[in-house]
Amino acid sequence: MSARRRSSYRRLLRWYPVRWRLTNGEVVLETLEEHAEASGRSHPTQGEAWSLRAHGLAERVTPNVILVASGSALLLSLAPLAALWLGAVDESVGGLVARTVCQFLGALLVCLSAGALMLRGSELRPETALAATFGAVIAWTLGALAAASWSVGFNEADAGAARSWFGDATGLFLLGAVVTGATALTAVLAGVLRIGSWRILLASAIAVPGAVGLGVSAVIPPGMVVGAIAVFVTVALQLRASPASIERVRPVPVPLTTVQRHRLAAVALVAAVLGVGSAVFALAGSLLVPSVGDSTEAMRLGLLAGTLVAIITVVTAAFALLPRRRPAILAPTLAFVAALIALSVTYLLPMDHPLVWPLLSLAIVLVGLAGGLLLAPVLPRPRWLRGLLVAAISLAVAASVGFLVVSVAFWAPVLAVVASIILIRGPRQSPAASAEALSPAPPGLEADWARRSAQ
Amino acid sequence: MVLRVTTLYASLERLEREGRIRSAGEEVVDGRARRYYEILESGRVLLEAEAERLAARAAAAQVSIARGAAARLSPAPLVAVSV
């Protein structure tokens, strides 16, 4: 037994968390020692050392760590958007640095969180994850430098000043970012794709445009917000799915009767027809009814009518979902209806009225809140964590897609048509449900089946 | 195929987390700590399914090898040569 080798292994095992070392440290140390002794080695190999580091770090990537990382990514990605919305974009050098750091650190955290999710799901080996992490850190750092270099170069050219080396190096930074990003992505994809000898080639073919796409999404304000929400909600769902967090059994949903479905479908169809009429009036009202005034006035009246009609669509959809989502659908419906009312009021006021912008902002915030509240039932407990998650998701939805509410008069009729079709067709029966209908389950299994369906 | 100690313990931990195996005690043998694991029912079901899948693949490979050997043993087709 070599004391030096043993001490090397013990040092490498410090990469694992303390709790893991207390449970497994000694057994793994002895196994490593035994293996090294059988191979006649006096010290750990490089491969073994990196494997221990990678596995040790992987043990530290818990769902809570991913939740914090993706939550931070969400906040960082939201900061430039919030500045944009509030009209507080700082054009100084400090502002540029802060904005670039927020965008690219947020993007890096989104990528690392997504990779960590794959690691937890055994889709990625810890060694590959560690190598990809190195690549991602370098790629996003070079990406941030490329963005900063472009801004500096633009300002220098705009001012007619001599170009500095930094302002001139955008292409070099960009090339470095794409190469390292594509390499990191290739490592990840090659681990995920299980298609034999062609996987490296295919992974590289996907990785190059993938790296470029990720870079572009980092500089487009809502791009990384959407990515951060996706990772955030996925990890929240994973936390919720853990056996310890399953706390209560929900009641089995009672489906709508055929008469109720057909009535709701009729209301949705009426809303669709009225919505299309409002949209047409908004676009061509001044031509169809000259007495209404100019095209701006027609647009205002059409949007007002379309927004009010959209309330009917939202309420109809809520009634359709009520048996399945009771009472979780009530709060988001109220928030969305409140948003539509706030938006309607802006169309009643003159365009330069001081209340127009605050009401529009309120409508966007309420749309975000509706999104956050809609996801609330699937978010993990305790209550404070769920509240925090709802707030973060609401902000993200408001900042990224909330502004789409201003065009609700144009897309609500499409939703109304889709809702009416779904309601007329009725719920699709799953094969399991059909089989159950044909051969009733034994009484003992019935309660268990109901409990599982409800979860 | 070489299985690293790190990969082995990561796999054991995952299988334990998934309820396929469980720790069945530790002891010191020749001055070294050892841990034993026992397979649980869900793990046995998974193992049996995997063994059947591998057996089916091995059988398919044997058939393919036998066909290849038969093809090599069969006489080459006659070719008429005119001079």
Average pLDDT over residues A14-31: 91
Asked if the Cβ–Cβ distance from B34 to A30 is below 8 Å, we say yes
* Predicted confidence (pLDDT) at residue A324 exceeds the cutoff of 70: no
Q: Does B22 touch chain A (CB under 8 A)?
A: no
Choose from A37, A51, A125 for mutation: most chain B CBs within 10 A. A51
The closest CB to that of B33, out of A27, A58, A126, belongs to A27
| Interface check B27 vs A, CB under 8 A | no
Q: Are A454 and A251 in contact (CB under 8 A)?
A: yes
Determine the Cα angle at A78 with ends A76 and A83, to 5°. Answer: 110
Q: Return phi, psi of residue B39, to 5°.
A: -80, 140
**Taking the C-alpha atoms of A309, A310, A313 and A314 in order, what is their torsion angle to the nearest 10 degrees?**
-140
Region label for A429, one of left (φ > 0), alpha (ψ between -120 and 50) or beta (otherwise): beta
Is any Cβ of chain A less than 8 angstroms from the Cβ of B44?
A: no
Distance from CA of B23 to the nearest CA of A (A): 11
pLDDT, tens digit, for every residue of A409-454? 899 999 999 888 888 887 665 444 444 444 444 444 344 444 444 4
CB contacts < 8 A, A to B, total 37
A299 and B CB contact within 8 Å: no
Helix (H) or strand (E) holding B39: strand B32-39
Q: What average pLDDT does the segment A102-114 reach? A: 91
Q: For residue A197, name the pLDDT band (cuts at 50, 70, 90).
A: low
Q: CB distance B33–A26 less than 8 Å?
A: yes
CB contact A13 to B (< 8 Å)? no
Question: Quick one: pLDDT at residue A444?
Answer: 41
Asked whether the beta carbons of A129 and A111 are under 8 A apart, the reply is no
Q: Is the pLDDT of residue A22 over 70?
A: yes
Instruction: Give the type of residue at B69.
Output: A
The string of pLDDT tens digits covering residues B11-37 is 898 899 889 999 988 888 888 888 899
Q: According to the per-residue pLDDT averaged within each range, which of A150-154, A400-404, B77-81 is highest?
A: A150-154
Name which of B7, B9, B32 is nearest A34 (Cβ-Cβ).
B32
A49–chain B Cβ distance below 8 A for any pair: no
**Per-residue confidence band for A245, with pLDDT thresholds at 50, 70 and 90:** very low
- The predicted model gives A350-379 an average pLDDT of 87
The alpha-carbon gap from B30 to the nearest alpha carbon of chain A, in Å, equals 11
What is the C-alpha separation between A360 and A366, in angstroms, rounded? Answer: 10
pTM: 0.64
Closest CA of chain A from B43, distance in Å: 17
Question: Out of A30, A51, A58, whose CB is closest to B4?
Answer: A51
**How far is A1 from chain B, CA to nearest CA, in Å?**
11
Calpha distance A137→A184 (Å, rounded): 10
Nearest-CA residue of chain B relative to A125?
A: B7
Subunit contact B34:A27, Cβ cutoff 8 A = yes
Cα–Cα dist A76/A56, whole Å: 28
Q: Is A86 within 8 Å of A80 (Cβ atoms)?
A: no
- Which residues of chain B make contact with A26, given a CB cutoff of 8 A? 33
Quick: pLDDT tens for B38-66. 999 999 999 999 999 999 999 999 998 98
Closest Cβ opposite residue A27 in set B10, B14, B35: B35
Task: Look at residue B80 and give its three-state secondary structure.
Answer: coil
pLDDT level of residue A172 (50, 70, 90 thresholds): very high
* CB contact B72 to A (< 8 Å): no
Nearest Cα of chain B lies from the Cα of A189 at a distance, in angstroms, of 20
Can you give the pLDDT at residue A427? Answer: 66
CA A81 to chain centroid: 15
Q: Do residues A315 and A333 touch, judged by C-beta distance below 8 A?
A: yes
